[in-house]
Amino acid sequence: MYLLFPHMVLSEKDYRHLSVFLPRLHSLQVLRAPAVPEWGREQFPGWPAIAGPELQEQIRVCVQGYRSFGVLHGESSLLASLSHDLMAKDAVESRFRLQSELKGQGEHASDAGREMLIEAATFLEMALDLDEKEMELQSGLAKAEGLEEEFREILGITGDEEPDESLEALDFSLRSGNVDLSFMLRKRIVSWYRLFSRNMPETSPVFVAITGEVVEELLDPVQSAFERAGKHFERIDLPLGSIPSLEQLDVESFGTLIRELGEAGVLAPYWQAVEMTLRDPHNAAMREALEAKSEILRKRIESFCLGKGGTFEDNRVQLGLTRLDQCAHADIWKCSDRSGYGLLAKEGHLRELPSIVLSLS
């Protein structure tokens, strides 16, 4: 089982690439399911993080409170609220707001572990809102850049020419705000672990990150802990596959590509080779088999993209594996979040979960 970590939604291009690299990818779900492309509904299901209507209602009350705050004071104020209020680790104001939202919501409202869960769930649900807004903005900017290029072609402006002053108003070089998928990444990781610990699947999942930045943020506290203890910190990094970016394909062409890869028997053998490598990344024979399957996959996609007039030499996407043999996911969580680990960690399961993380680059 593969599980998106620590985000809860992907961009269209990441959905496309991960649909090639992995047979199925679950995402943690608090209150509502993220917006998944129609073609990916089966391949990208949600994984419920919260069980019980009472707890869900308490989370819904908190989320609605912050959404109302954002409506009244604007998104920038909402970001400040998330950064300095709800997310402040020991802030009195944060505790006061959380407790005021929960007032009258049940006899367990004062339970420290329960409040931690509600805080984590509220943060991740709000982060989902912000991520989706950012993706909509980026999609709009991409369309604007395309329109700008078309307009320049109509006017006969080449890439080396500069438009005159009368056309300066047509500049679409907009910039998004300070909200992106790296926003409060450490808090995302901590909150994700707290929720995941309450409803873990029976089979050991493999965590999948959108960028290598997630991996570095995740492992930094572990490395620091090892260095303080005088222990040698060692990590395994392996490439699992590289393909041309599928971002430029239209929806119909992308669907045709996936269908052809499936009918040609290319995807399933690659997925199986990845799974075998994850079980034993030290096994050279497994890595060689994966490399062979990955090469077949890469060539088939390159051939398809060339047939569509695509270029890909400088625009590739890679799936990589990072693993620590010296500790499990329980140890990683504990290094980042001692208080949450002490209150919420369950015995056994996380301790037995190998510290493997996949990431796109």
Q: Are residues 50 and 195 in the same domain?
A: yes
Query: How many whole angstroms separate alpha carbon 345 and alpha carbon 116?
Result: 12
How many structural domains are present in the chain? 2
Interior/surface letters 179-189, b for 16+ CB within 10 angstroms, e for the rest: bebebbbebbb
Q: What is the pLDDT of residue 93?
A: 39
Residues 255 and 123 in one domain: no
Do 113 and 216 belong to one domain? Answer: yes
Tens digits of residue pLDDT in 34-86: 889 999 999 999 999 887 788 888 889 888 877 776 666 555 555 555 555 54
Claim to verify: residue 220 and residue 333 sit in the same structural domain: yes
Report the alpha-carbon distance of residue 159 to residue 149 in Å, rounded. 9
Same domain, 254 and 117: no
Does a structural domain hold residue 259? yes
Per-residue model confidence as pLDDT tens digits over 144-192 = 555 555 545 555 555 555 545 444 443 433 333 434 677 789 999 999 9
Q: Which of 301, 283, 294 is nearest to 241 (CA)?
A: 294
On whether residue 162 sits in a domain, the answer given is no
Contacts of 290 (CB under 8 A, 6+ apart): 240, 241, 270, 273, 274, 276, 277
Residues 301 and 335 in one domain: no
Contact 72, 81 (CB under 8 A): no
Does residue 151 lie in a domain region? Answer: no
Q: Look up the domain containing 127 and give its range.
A: 2-131+178-228+326-355
Q: Is residue 14 part of a domain?
A: yes
Question: In this structure, are 305 and 330 located in the same domain?
Answer: no
